[in-house]
Amino acid sequence: MKKLMTNAKKAIVPIIFLIIAVVLTLIYNSVFSTRDYGLDTIFFYTFLASVTFVLVLVFQRFIETPRIYLPFSLGWGMVFIAAVEKLNAEYLDTIWPGYENELYFTAMIAIGFGISVIGFYFWMRHNWQQEQYREQQHKIIELYTSLMSHDAGNDLQAILGYIEAALLVPDGCSPKTLELLEAAHFSALRMTSLIKAFKPDVSDSENRLVSILRLSSHQAVKAHIGLTIDIEADDETEEIEVVGGSMLQMAFANLFRNSAEYAGNNPIVNIKVVKDTENAVITVSDNGPGVKEELRSMLFERGGSVDGHGFGLYLARQIVAACGGTIELVDMDKGAAFRIVIPY
């Protein structure tokens, strides 16, 4: 129903141009008399009017982005009206000033083509962005093997460890047992999210950045005992949608895991989300000891962690890059902080 209403609204533009052409023709034919005219000129402007009107219909019908189809429709519509007026001027003995002036018709047609060029620019830019989007999606799919071997493997080990610890707790189902089992449960949920990341039918809500952060934070807090995560996001950031939303959960999860492992017994992670005209900027910081100077240069490389087996930050960078963004370590007075910039 919504699509039908949108198409009905878009049909108004060519209808308006057609009504203007019909009204002009009726007025001219009722006021002015015919004169000698050349058939070649009549045929040329009839052809031009027909082609441009078809172009208005095509772009209104098949292009969904207003920024594209409105300049096209307005530009081709001006050429269409100019061609109709030129037809009347050639066919009738008009006496209104300017209507037999070639410069007038030439100027209208030139302006119409100029406006159409603006629409063509937006069209080409849109196609380029779509191509970039497809390339980003392709890169995301290529990360599948690495993510499955790293994240799924880590979470399986966490689940086994929590379950074994729960079995060693005496007195049956104690509060501690429940806490450990709950942690195991949410580690399993993270595995489910990883598999879900590759489903083709991702809904808009799953691509909303703040929703992704909240879900990742909730799962991380449950999976890593003692971890606290606070999110600061205003109303303007709530509707931001990004490429590879489900995959980004894995990038954030790796950052949270790092804080849980290296920021002490009661790690606190603060997340701040802001936006500019084209990008969302996410700052993730913790209250830990920070990153040692000798690790900074290789932090996002394979094996860049303290024990030489680091892979999480490497994958986080690959995921963010596949989504068209960047991630970097930023200086803070205390703790480790990362700035992630993602286009939306």
Q: Are 40 and 90 in contact (CB under 8 A)?
A: no
Q: Quick one: pLDDT at residue 9?
A: 64
Q: Quick one: pLDDT at residue 309?
A: 47
Q: Quick one: pLDDT at residue 197?
A: 56
Q: 315-339 burial by CB neighbour count: b if 16+ within 10 A, else e? A: bbbbbbbbbbbebebeeeeebbbbe
pLDDT per residue as tens digits for the range 112-144: 888 888 888 888 888 888 888 777 777 776 666
Residues 6+ apart with CB under 8 A from 53: 14, 17, 18, 76, 80
Give the domain 203-343 fold.
Answer: Heat Shock Protein 90 (3.30.565)
The residue with greater pLDDT, 282 or 76, is 282
Coil, helix or strand at residue 224: coil
Q: Are 275 and 240 in contact (CB under 8 A)?
A: yes
On average, the pLDDT of the chain sits at: 78
Q: How far is CA 126 from CA 40, 68, 228, 344, in A?
A: 39, 8, 41, 14
Integer Cα distance of 99 and 116 in angstroms: 24
pTM: 0.49
**pLDDT band of 268, cuts 50, 70, 90:** very high
The residue with greater pLDDT, 157 or 294, is 294
Q: Which of 76-85, 128-137, 209-218, 308-317 has the lowest mean pLDDT?
A: 308-317
Q: Where are the domains of the chain?
A: 2-136, 203-343
Q: Quick one: pLDDT at residue 308?
A: 47
pLDDT exceeds cutoff 60 at 200: no
pLDDT per residue as tens digits for the range 204-225: 456 789 999 998 898 888 888 8
The residue with greater pLDDT, 314 or 338, is 338
pLDDT exceeds cutoff 70 at 267: yes
Q: Quick one: pLDDT at residue 277?
A: 81
Residue type, 109: I
Q: Quick one: pLDDT at residue 232?
A: 94
